[in-house]
Structure 1
């Protein structure tokens, strides 16, 4: 069974942690991040308030407006939620003898190196790394955050769904999967969307 979408694996996918379509989706999301026209590079064009999906700069207040959008700036930092996780996974694969971390050069170069390394080892990871589902979920989150700021897309609305154990999970239509914090059951994309919508009282708890 694919650890991401939870569908049964085809005969040529046996012994993999993820099916071919899910692996290819991770590859496309990684590819979107890198390069001079990639999502990470384009974040730099959204640093000034009013330049992207963050809305127009606020005027008319006594205090001077913040010169840069701090949420976007945070995504561009070395330890931020883009480069930080990417290099953490490269470091993880380095321990397994499958990669080499390179922290030299500009942040863009480091992102490109990390993405290239992760894509080069993607098939190996889908077949051998027991945490591939966690890796895919992090790449999906990074991709979604960057896309939101670059394209100005409205983030998907969270829907509260009820696990049979009674826990309420908040998911969106593009959630790749979720693990219940109550019983630790792992749900794939289609499975978690089939859970019943939580009652309003439980959702507010």
Structure 2
């Protein structure tokens, strides 16, 4: 049986181990989008107040005063959000490699840039050998989508229903890496999932 990518379930080339090159490059791009002075994490600070980011202008005349900060942006920007999630993964990778515990310097923006830089350095190793790289890939993609939504960037991709060969309706998007049917356990890669027939819409 041919080896398949743990992220998208497409067949691997002989030069690839565990993860295909497009999936590795996609993770690298998602990490890069988070860091830097123009990155998504830096832009979260500009979307903390009601009326900024993707929520549009504040609506006047409401009976209750709006919250002073937008909680979705705050939860991503504060400790425990984006930076902490990235640092937790880096700690895990360091432990797997037998490296000493990474150190964090500066404020959260500086720590974000540091941890993203280190994750990208270790990304080729993780893509080939880390046992939870598929989970890492999904979590980084989710972080990017959450930040884009909170900062008024791209909206979450539209989910459409497609039919598995067993009849189960599966929800996919245009950037779906892969999907597994919970009923029959069939695994579909990106292109295979998008070629499945559209599920029939049930009458209300």
| Matched residue, 1:108 | 109
Instruction: Please tell me whether the aligned partners of residues 6 and 191 of structure 1 are also in contact (alpha carbons under 8 angstroms).
Output: no
Q: CA deviation at 1:53?
A: 1.6
CA 1:58–1:105 in 2, change beyond 3 Å: closer, same or farther? same
| Matched residue, 2:158 | 157
| Matched residue, 2:183 | 182
- Distance in 2, Cα, partners of 1:183 & 1:175: 19
Instruction: Please tell me whether the aligned partners of residues 12 and 18 of structure 2 are also in contact (alpha carbons under 8 angstroms).
Output: no
| Matched residue, 1:25 | 26
- Distance in 2, Cα, partners of 1:151 & 1:173: 20
Instruction: Please tell me whether the aligned partners of residues 53 and 151 of structure 1 are also in contact (alpha carbons under 8 angstroms).
Output: yes
Instruction: Please tell me whether the aligned partners of residues 181 and 187 of structure 2 are also in contact (alpha carbons under 8 angstroms).
Output: yes
Instruction: Please tell me whether the aligned partners of residues 58 and 65 of structure 1 are also in contact (alpha carbons under 8 angstroms).
Output: no
Instruction: Please tell me whether the aligned partners of residues 9 and 187 of structure 2 are also in contact (alpha carbons under 8 angstroms).
Output: no
- Distance in 2, Cα, partners of 1:111 & 1:167: 41
Residue correspondence of structure 1 range 114-133 to structure 2 within 5 A: 114-133=115-134
Structure 1 residues not aligned, in runs of 5+: none
| Matched residue, 2:97 | 97
Structure 1-normalised TM-score?
Answer: 0.84
- Distance in 2, Cα, partners of 1:112 & 1:146: 15
SS at match of 1:124: helix
SS at match of 1:142: helix
Count of residue pairs brought into register by the alignment: 200
Structure 2 residues not aligned, in runs of 5+: none
| Matched residue, 2:14 | 11
Instruction: Please tell me whether the aligned partners of residues 72 and 150 of structure 2 are also in contact (alpha carbons under 8 angstroms).
Output: no
Deviation sequence 1:66-112 (CA, Å, 0-9, x none): 222111111112222x2343122112212212653335542223322
SS at match of 1:121: helix
| Matched residue, 2:37 | 36
Q: CA RMSD in A?
A: 2.4
